[in-house]
Amino acid sequence: MIRGREVRLVGDKGEQLGVMPLYQAREVAEKAGLDLVEVAPTAVPPVCRLMDYGKFKYMQTKKEREARKGQKVVLLREIRLRPKIGEHDFDAKSRVAHKLLEDGDKVKVTIMFRGRENTHPELGIKLIQKMAQSLSGVSTVEREPIREGARLHAILAPLPSVKPAKPREESKEETGELENAKT
């Protein structure tokens, strides 16, 4: 698939092998038992490299897997409430939201209105504020309450995790153990 008549050839260790006709570059690759891969098709002349293409693809996918391992996928989880929710039920929903936020997920708090409850959206706003207040130690309000039809939504995001500082260990000099060991 290499289109140029002449190519600049780079060896498998990165050394420059010079500009040569394409057929000659293919012969060099065949003698070395490597593949001829075009790495810069827009250059004049195009740059080709000698490499084991299968090994290159394998190492590339291995690096991508390793990079994905370190990533944390943040999910948006939803907690649904009604304006007339009981205190105990609210506390249970709050505990579930607390656990989700500690796990690093965002929480969408949804207040669902039915019938005449639609005429009192301030009850839903107070409920969302109460939820945000109860979760203030582990979350911040990412999106303020928004009304969409018969529902009221707000999104709470987890706080950036702060690792607790390790208690400083006292050195032997400070405790006097070093002096006792000398005598």
Using the predicted structure, report yes or no on whether residue 121 has a pLDDT greater than 70.
yes
- pLDDT reported for residue 161: 67
CA distances from 47 to 25, 33, 52, 57, 127 (A): 11, 19, 16, 19, 64
Residue that has been written with the tokens 């007339």 in this structure:
84
The residue that leads in pLDDT, 12 or 173, is 12
Residue 160: CB atoms within 10 Å? 6
Q: How many whole angstroms separate alpha carbon 46 and alpha carbon 146?
A: 56
- Give me the residue spans of the domains in the chain: 6-54, 76-158
- pLDDT reported for residue 143: 92
Each residue of 61-108: pLDDT tens digit? 999 998 888 777 778 999 999 999 999 999 999 999 999 999 889 999
* Topology annotation, domain 76-158: Translation Initiation Factor IF3 (3.30.110)
Average pLDDT, the chain: 85
CB 128 within 8 A of CB 90: no
6-54 and 76-158 in the same fold:
no
pLDDT-based confidence at 169, cuts 50/70/90?
A: very low
Q: How many whole angstroms separate alpha carbon 151 and alpha carbon 109?
A: 10
Using a pLDDT cut of 90, give the percent of the chain over it. Answer: 63
With vertex at residue 60, the alpha carbon angle to CA 58 and CA 61, rounded to the nearest 5 degrees, is 70
Each residue of 1-41: pLDDT tens digit? 787 789 999 998 889 999 999 999 999 999 999 999 998 88
Please enumerate in sequence order all residues whose Cβ is within 8 A of that of 154, keeping only pairs 6 or more positions apart, or say none. Answer: 108, 109, 128, 131, 132, 141, 143, 144, 145, 146
Beta-strand runs (E) in 22-179: 35-40, 47-51, 76-81, 106-112, 139-148, 151-158
Please enumerate in sequence order all residues whose Cβ is within 8 A of that of 182, keeping only pairs 6 or more positions apart, or say none. Answer: none
Using the predicted structure, report yes or no on whether residue 167 has a pLDDT greater than 50.
no
Using the predicted structure, report yes or no on whether residue 168 has a pLDDT greater than 80.
no
The residue that leads in pLDDT, 166 or 152, is 152
Strand order of the β-sheet with 139-148 is: 76-81, 106-112, 151-158, 139-148
- What integer is the mean pLDDT of 120-144? 92
Class of domain 6-54: alpha beta
